[in-house]
Structure 1
């Protein structure tokens, strides 16, 4: 859902960054009451008659914890679940210790996302297909970005979908949280960039041998907002809420939305969303955007897209209140002394015909008491024609054009800070990330990789890149063909934080076997379709051994796998389900490994190990004293399980990092799950 305002970030932390999501130390004394809030929303009449007390009661109740399973089907389809417990209860209750550990572990391995229910709505309304070019304008912390990536990979048999997601955020530090979220999904089709969304640069691409502007098929415009729909989990909003917040944010929200539709392809869809219930941040922004578009934009009717979802239609009339309680029904009543704070676009259009043609009732407002959720607003816009100020597409210029867009011009005039930065300033302050360097087809590093792994002829070697110009290459990454196009054509105008999926890592021991690079688990599902050698078929019992022991002897493997492993060094350990063994996992499992002289090792991250072991019926949990993780086959006695795990990997190692990261994940969901 929408983001709390980043304009306050220099003076105070935004509510979504509260590490305990409003339930930790320092929050116990906050009274869930704000008379100005109640007076304002009673007067606006957004809540149906007779329901206001229910609305307020729901706002005071803790938000139930919800999770979304990382799958390639659309919600609900049993891919999203909610509990009747708050995140605090799940985190603190001894009875739920195993469940909480499960959530932390599976979140870290990318198999679930702990995401608020209403936050799942915008991606579902975008109607994403695998070939779509997608921009997420204000993406951190990244739960919706993860949804977008999943939708691109709806067909798991296609390792490189034609589409991609470019995820942007203005806050450099939060971009790294976004990277962490996106990396869990191991996609070659995601790029994280760091720009002010209201003047995000126009990118160019090669199209049929010519330079062309990149227009996006889908845009998520999930803007910074006052966040009054998040009071259930961000308790500090109760005491900080005032109508001034919306007045300060309206202009920024409109500039971001304008910049979004400028970059949207004709025929494309942009979803605008906030976690605010305030019409100044919601319908007022949409109405102003529609008015500026002069018919180029249309509000889509999404009433049938999410059957079962309860929502209130957008309103067509509202008024404005200042923090001192002064009401203004329209712009004509605003005194000139207030004109810098209050703008005409904050009010409904005065022309009845124009207002009716906008169909603001197609906007959707979700109220907390209707489905035990947070508060939320969403609108779906379809672009029918170029924006009136861009009737003729601009020519691609080598330098960033001055005043390249209406949004940029507006930002420069009003704030004086948002124009395209000078190239010198870019080099000094902006682009500190390592460069992205694509390997040439005759690179000696790649030559040995090609023969060692017997890569198929259709392997897209031109999409392999590294992050260094000089010295030994430590890691190799892959991006899709379309993201390669974007990277090669925009290195001077775009601050890229991260992209691609790691597919190979340097292994000094490998040189004696003929290749210095071993496979990386992160990229195995991307690479495996192209690898034609060094694959070992393993059984369920083999995988249990490989994932519960650090360096088991080769003799621990079953005879078939043992015989195969003796012949190969770097390997893909592949489990293929058998139709006649319904009790075993019915999906393939692929692990990266390395064989030493007498032992074998699987290079699988800790939480991913836990995931596969759970699939195989091995219970993985930390004991009550926190002295270590236990692994025990279901149905086996504790002594038998302990005896089997004498050589068990030290699974407690790194727990502190895992726990703090999990806390960061849950805390940073703040107003944007």
Structure 2
């Protein structure tokens, strides 16, 4: 698909349109609405508005399931936080980041700086580069604090089947995937995260977010959440059963009137019409989520709106329809401050007229429906315990505004029939699957799982890497039906079951972790056409008995510090191991020699053994991450923005024969690699993509 041409902009046009910084952060209608609605203590209203007018502080969290989390946290404190202790910006002392008190294990941190200050201040260049590299390599996520709360309240376990109904852009989805992987002893969890979004283009934001985590247990799909299709699994006896989810996240589309601190245009655009329009959509999504939830499962409903029409009204309407089948849970998150949900509210129309109940509406008002009002039965409202909902206000803990409710499905919904034991175990009397409706968007390549035609590749890979007999090769797949297999992906057994048995009804955008890539090499004596890929190292390592080379921390530092160290630069023990290996791809593994070691966690790094040297195969940001892990400085050429267009232009202006620094280094690296190392265009391609992302 071709790129769209940039729209021509006349000189001075931007100034006429205005800019975010020119927006006046005031809206009397917004302030008066919440004063009259009184869904929180109106005595706090001025403090609430004052907080909304301030920029949002930068917040980030360390990926919790990664084995590297504890080490990364220790190094971050000792290096970057120490350097910030005496730092001043505009004559003001910068506060060291503080851990969010309600997030487990000190894995989430808040600064008193906004993103612009971190990005533009030269004194914070190293910290900024650290955040970029760790974000791109999947070890840190930069995410708004209140956005982290819904996945925590889901209480996800590794065996859970989780549905994220409106997942893009994917920060909450990433948390769910992390929680699935929280048990280090099982690299391939039994559960799954099904991440869905209605917008096809936004699905590719999800792909970027989830691919950073290298999980074989996630799948991204493209459907309308309000009519999300049933997914069927096939049992070992060939019978099908509908998939029900242990956990469902409904982070629904909303007016976003709690996001004024980061989305300043909401100050200008806010009006009640958005909430009125979205209420029905939100209710449909919540009802569908409850239908898909298994009995005893939990659903989290959340919005970044503070309006009861989008919050308590939606929850109450769903509970009224579901009766005793659904209950609101009382939640505990120590250290988190919030206001309780309101049990009474009014509805305002577009003309700013207030109504206490549905019967008060004049015939001229058409867009307001009964479900926007509290249920008429006061005892029913009391029994709903709407006060258990969480309304998070910006002045309480220096965050954005947010709403969260946690529901549990006690039994089948009134309109859901009781499933017999025969049906539960896969009765052949299942209703026919609905073919998916055509949805505009990019056409995806096929998902082709390995079978008899790929037996030659399977045998070659298993022999070269010494893969165990229980290696599930049937869970390998590629994205082409014809021609050479360039990339090979790995998925969990459950993901394979879903993809294979729902081809006609489920629009899959992406799944799997890349474990192998074709090595188009110039080196003689290479016995396997496929090299290991760093993304899939954790998935593959547990099955390997050959070409898994243990190294010391000294070897790890040598491999990370140079692009292509000679054998004599490595320890004698490693030299002997390499001399006994055929040339080609391998995996290096560092294991801490004792609990007191400076680097306390295992390190897995994919590489290549040549004739006289070895090297690592990883992108720039991964290399930076591992350098952070072993406490080594990052070379200048790896830092972000050093290979930007401006840098290349400057290099050209200095008479570099028309070749920028990036191109010079790349040519040098590839010519040096031609003797000993695979000359693989994929690595160059990965570098370019990641550098573009990092520069942005």
Common fold, TM-score beyond 0.5? Answer: yes
Q: 1:236 aligns with which of 239, 254, 265?
A: 265
**Which residues in structure 2 correspond to 1:189-228 (within 5 Å)?**
189-209=217-237, 210-228=239-257
Instruction: State whether structure 2 residue 611 is matched by structure 1 residue 579.
Output: no
Deviation per CA, 1:375-425: give whole Å up to 9, x if none. 000001100111111124595333418xxxxxxxxxxxxxxxxxx52xxx4
Q: Is the 8 A contact 1:104 1:659 kept in 2?
A: no
Q: Is the 8 A contact 2:326 2:408 kept in 1?
A: yes
**What is the SS of the residue equivalent to 2:113?**
strand
**Which residues in structure 2 correspond to 1:611-630 (within 5 Å)?**
611-620=625-634, 622=636, 627=642
Instruction: State whether structure 2 residue 99 is matched by structure 1 residue 87.
Output: no
Which residue does 1:51 correspond to in 2? 44
**What is the SS of the residue equivalent to 1:88?**
helix
**What is the SS of the residue equivalent to 1:508?**
coil
Q: Cα distance 1:86–1:462, how it changes in 2: closer, same or farther (>3 A)?
A: same
Q: Distance in 2 between matches of 1:511 and 1:146?
A: 42
Q: Is the 8 A contact 1:548 1:648 kept in 2?
A: no
> For structure 2, which runs of at least 5 residues remain unmatched after alignment?
1-16, 70-101, 424-428, 645-664, 671-682
Q: Distance in 2 between matches of 1:356 and 1:511?
A: 77
Q: Is the 8 A contact 1:628 1:652 kept in 2?
A: no
Deviation per CA, 1:347-381: give whole Å up to 9, x if none. 00011111111111111111110111110000011
**What is the SS of the residue equivalent to 1:144?**
helix
**Which residues in structure 2 correspond to 1:239-388 (within 5 Å)?**
239-302=268-331, 304=332, 306-339=333-366, 341-388=367-414
Q: 1:528 aligns with which of 536, 541, 565?
A: 541
Q: Is the 8 A contact 1:101 1:621 kept in 2?
A: no
Instruction: State whether structure 2 residue 504 is matched by structure 1 residue 492.
Output: yes
Q: Distance in 2 between matches of 1:27 and 1:431?
A: 32
Of the structure 1 ranges 279-288 and 64-73, higher mean CA displacement relative to structure 2 is found in 64-73
Of the structure 1 ranges 272-281 and 92-101, higher mean CA displacement relative to structure 2 is found in 92-101
Superposed CA RMSD in Å reads 2.6
Query: Cα offset for 1:253?
Result: 0.5
Q: Cα distance 1:625–1:38, how it changes in 2: closer, same or farther (>3 A)?
A: closer
**Which residues in structure 2 correspond to 1:14-33 (within 5 Å)?**
26-33=19-26
Q: Distance in 2 between matches of 1:431 and 1:463?
A: 25
Q: Is the 8 A contact 2:567 2:614 kept in 1?
A: yes
Q: Cα distance 1:227–1:660, how it changes in 2: closer, same or farther (>3 A)?
A: farther
Instruction: State whether structure 2 residue 138 is matched by structure 1 residue 110.
Output: yes
Which residue does 2:693 correspond to in 1? 661
Q: Distance in 1 between matches of 2:631 and 2:385?
A: 53
**Which residues in structure 2 correspond to 1:2-41 (within 5 Å)?**
26-41=19-34
Which residue does 2:560 correspond to in 1? 547
Query: Cα offset for 1:25?
Result: 7.9
Q: Is the 8 A contact 2:346 2:357 kept in 1?
A: yes
Q: 2:183 aligns with which of 155, 171, 175?
A: 155
Query: Cα offset for 1:622?
Result: 4.8
Which residue does 1:8 correspond to in 2? none
TM-score (norm 2): 0.82
Aligned length: 599
Q: Cα distance 1:38–1:225, how it changes in 2: closer, same or farther (>3 A)?
A: same
Deviation per CA, 1:449-479: give whole Å up to 9, x if none. 1111111122122211111111111111111
Q: Distance in 2 between matches of 1:365 and 1:663?
A: 36
TM-score (norm 1): 0.85
Of the structure 1 ranges 311-320 and 273-282, higher mean CA displacement relative to structure 2 is found in 311-320
Q: Distance in 1 between matches of 2:561 and 2:491?
A: 32
Q: Cα distance 1:49–1:560, how it changes in 2: closer, same or farther (>3 A)?
A: same
Query: Cα offset for 1:188?
Result: 0.4
